Amino acid sequence: MREYWKKPEATEEAFRGGWYHTGDAGYADPKGYLYLVDRVKDMIVSGGENVYSVEVENAIATHPAVAQVAVIGVPNETWGEAVHAIVVLRDEMTASEEEIVEHARRSIAGYKVPKSVEFRDEPLPLSGAMKVLKRDLRAPYWAGRERGVN
């Protein structure tokens, strides 16, 4: 890749310092295997702890009533950001906020568990690549505010 088409600012940001910055967050294990855990812009920083939205989404997605889930950080005066889940349930299935939270708590650390759950009837917005448009989901919560993670 040479550049982003007709987006010089994005190109400059991505190719700063002679390196291509993908925006992915990951780690290498002791054997040298690389694990990509999330997009940096989707990472939630809550009380100084990094919460990878994908990890929380994977925990919630195992609930039998969940058709779609997206996890975002929403503004929180105490913690900076709070973990917020947006859930679309399967047709003719039900679940409460408490059920979703307790289901997630079984497989992830307490600080990663959603502090709030929002249910939607319509499908989550998707990009042309069929990825959830989290920036669109975050926008109403962050309108007029500065978010620490780019």
Does 30 lie in the same domain as 13? yes
With pLDDT > 70 as the criterion, what percentage of the chain qualifies? 99
CATH number of the domain residue 14 falls in: 2.30.38.10
Q: Cβ distance 101 to 124 under 8 Å?
A: no
Burial level of 104, CB count in 10 A (0-12/13-18/19+)?
A: buried
Does 49 lie in the same domain as 66? yes
Higher-pLDDT residue of 68 and 17 is: 68
CATH number of the domain residue 136 falls in: 3.30.300.30
When pLDDT is averaged across residues 109-115 and rounded to a whole number, the result is 97
Q: pLDDT value at position 37?
A: 86
Does 49 lie in the same domain as 12? no
Q: pLDDT value at position 2?
A: 87
Q: pLDDT value at position 134?
A: 96
Q: Tell me the pLDDT tens digit for each residue of 50-84.
A: 999 999 999 999 999 999 999 999 999 999 999 99
Nearest to 65 by CA among 98, 27, 92: 92
Confidence category of residue 149, pLDDT binned at 50, 70, 90: low
* H/E segment holding residue 9: helix 8-14
Does 65 lie in the same domain as 34? no
Q: What is the pTM of this model?
A: 0.86
Task: Examine residue 149 and state whether it is found in any structural domain, yes or no.
Answer: no
Q: pLDDT value at position 44?
A: 96
Angle at 32 between CA 27 and CA 35, to 5 degrees: 35
Does 83 lie in the same domain as 107? yes
Residue 28: beta bridge partners?
A: 34
CA–CA gap between residue 131 and residue 75 (Å, rounded): 23
Mention every residue, 6+ apart, whose C-beta is less than 8 A from residue 146: none
Q: Which domain holds residue 111?
A: 43-142
Mention every residue, 6+ apart, whose C-beta is less than 8 A from residue 127: 133
Does 73 lie in the same domain as 96? yes
Angle at 41 between CA 64 and CA 103, to 5 degrees: 20
Tally of structural domains, the chain: 2
Task: Examine residue 62 and state whether it is found in any structural domain, yes or no.
Answer: yes
Q: pLDDT value at position 30?
A: 96
Does 95 lie in the same domain as 59? yes
